[in-house]
Amino acid sequence: MWRGPVAVRVRTVVVGAPASGSGKTILATGLMGALRRRGSVVAPFKVGPDYIDPGYHGLAAGRPGRNLDPVLVGADQIAPLARHGASGADVAVVEGVMGLFDGRLADGYGSTAQVAALLGAPVVLVVDCRGQSRSLAALLHGFRSFDAGAGQRVRLGGVVLNRVGSERHEAVLRAAADEVGLPVLGALPRRDALAVPSRHLGLVTAAEHGPAATAAVAAMADLVEHHVDLDAVLRIAEPLPPGPAWSAADAVGARTPPGRARTAVLGGRAFTFGYAEHVELLEAAGAEVVVVDPLRDEALPPGTAALVLPGGFPEEHVADLGANNGLRAAVRTFAASGAPVHAECGGLLYLCASLDGVPMCGVLPARASMTRRLTLGYRDAVALTGSPLFAAGERVSGHEFHRCAVTPRAGTGPAWAWRDGEPEGVVAGGVHASFLHTHPAGNPGSVARFVAAAAAGERDTGTVRS
């Protein structure tokens, strides 16, 4: 039960597509930026476990990009989390994932369609129109009439034509949309210059791309501003369903006095994979969060009682991370003290003895290396070893997304096991390290447990860790 405030009924629209690569990110990010330029306060969201798109959304909207993922947090949390993230906003723009009806399973659980249905929001379908003309009518008819099941029939509010080749091409496409009675909200010309650099796991993060990311977002906003009818988009937007907003304090129970446990969270360009709700939950549970950039900072903050190492791209900054001997030694000493340490994916790599042959922190007796194999997918996992985060036997839904291998794959106290998979990750002392990404809003008890362990460690020793 959430006791958070009832949110203002923010107008909401979801950007979906027939398939990945259709232009969802350009349209959604451009809408966020263009609407903000007009004076709207825009709440940005992304469907699914993506960490990269929300960084660009944040630049466009001037507010933290947030994720809406039924698989990781539960379908019942989607509307409350949306109300929380949209607090104080006029309009919410939600970028979908993959194709409109693509989810974890054959039933489409976790899909853009499911999230749109849970929010009661119309979908703007962006279609890559290269190589087609009147066939667009059949495509739109199919997407509009398809029933995703379980009450997930979604309403297509309109279509945005993407990569239109000429005025003649646009006219034929508009006529095709008219045949099925679906309004065309805009037509984006082909603009190869808008492509954002990518690497082995997708786009380069906004934090790493720096000023070029800001320029790319501005270009997306320019494109949408000139080629999409923003007033028409706002007219079809529907208010979020009324109800309580998600509350971090309610989720964790707020047991530890505020600011009691100083928690260092790695950030900067090498560690960008995190959910906005994580810091909110840490603080609500009693932590004082301090961000540490391992590309610059050479020590942990005085009084650090817990350490969080999120995912990211440490492999892209391996030489600089390895050269920061001071912080690597500080992390190794801190972990050896038994203090709580939570590392996911990129954070796991940083705790290893080496990454692609470059010395890392040496907390774990394991070697990490890049591979050509992409490991990707949701995991229903069970904790094999009790830790400052999870009790042995606790079950979670998580997500795995990497091109790295760690040898050995698991320690003597493995973190997880999942169906058809071998044990994975390490629990040793206060360290919990794994490739598995979890969403803290789906597991708030783990955050409360983590902060309580940090505070208890200070009380037990009577000292301040540094």
Question: DSSP letters along 280-342, please?
Answer: HHHHHTTEEEEEE-TTT--SPPTTEEEEEE-BS-GGGGHHHHHH-HHHHHHHHHHHHTT--EE
pLDDT at 460: 44
**324, 418: one domain:** yes
Total structural domains in the chain?
A: 2
If asked whether residues 293 and 385 sit together in one domain, one would say yes
311 — pLDDT class (breaks 50, 70, 90): very high
Decide which of 193, 221, 239 is a domain's last residue.
Answer: 239
Same domain, 334 and 444: yes
Query: What whole-number percentage of the chain has pLDDT above 90?
Result: 77
Let me know whether 88 and 199 are in one domain: yes
What are 371-415's pLDDT values in tens digits?
A: 888 878 899 999 999 999 999 999 999 999 888 999 998 889 999
Q: Do residue 399 and residue 273 come from a single domain? A: yes
Helix (H) or strand (E) holding 433: strand 431-434
Residue 196 pLDDT > 60, yes or no?
A: no
Confidence of residue 193 (pLDDT cuts 50, 70, 90): low
> Which residues are catalytic, by number?
345
- The answer to whether residue 277 scores a pLDDT higher than 80 is yes
- Is the alpha carbon torsion for 224, 227, 231, 234 positive or negative? negative
pLDDT digits (tens, 9 = 90+) for 210-222: 677 888 899 999 9
In a shared domain, residues 197 and 309? no
Per-residue confidence (pLDDT) for residue 158, from 0 to 100: 97
457 — pLDDT class (breaks 50, 70, 90): confident
Whichever domain contains 131, its CATH number is 3.40.50.300
Q: Are residues 176 and 229 in the same domain?
A: yes
Contacts of residue 144, Cβ cutoff 8 Å, sequence gap at least 6: 156, 180, 182
The phi, psi pair for 463, rounded to 5°, reads -130, 170
CATH number at residue 264: 3.40.50.880
User: Is the model's pLDDT at 234 over the cut of 50?
Assistant: yes
Q: Does residue 40 have a pLDDT over 90?
A: yes
Q: Report if residue 2 sits inside a domain.
A: no
Please give the residue that has the higher pLDDT: either 3 or 342: 342
Give the Cα separation of 421 and 413 in Å (integer).
Answer: 16
Domain termination site, one of 214, 239, 264? 239
Q: Is residue 340, in this structure, part of any structural domain at all? A: yes
Q: Is residue 57 part of a domain?
A: yes
Domain extent for 138: 11-239
Q: Do 320 and 454 belong to one domain?
A: yes
Among candidate residues 239, 267, 301, the one where a domain is terminated: 239
Please report whether residue 60 resides in a domain.
yes
DSSP structural state of residue 350: H
Q: Is 416 helix (H, G, I), strand (E, B) or coil?
A: strand
Do 371 and 316 lie in a common domain?
A: yes
In this structure, are 168 and 307 located in the same domain? no
Domain shared by 287 and 422, yes or no: yes
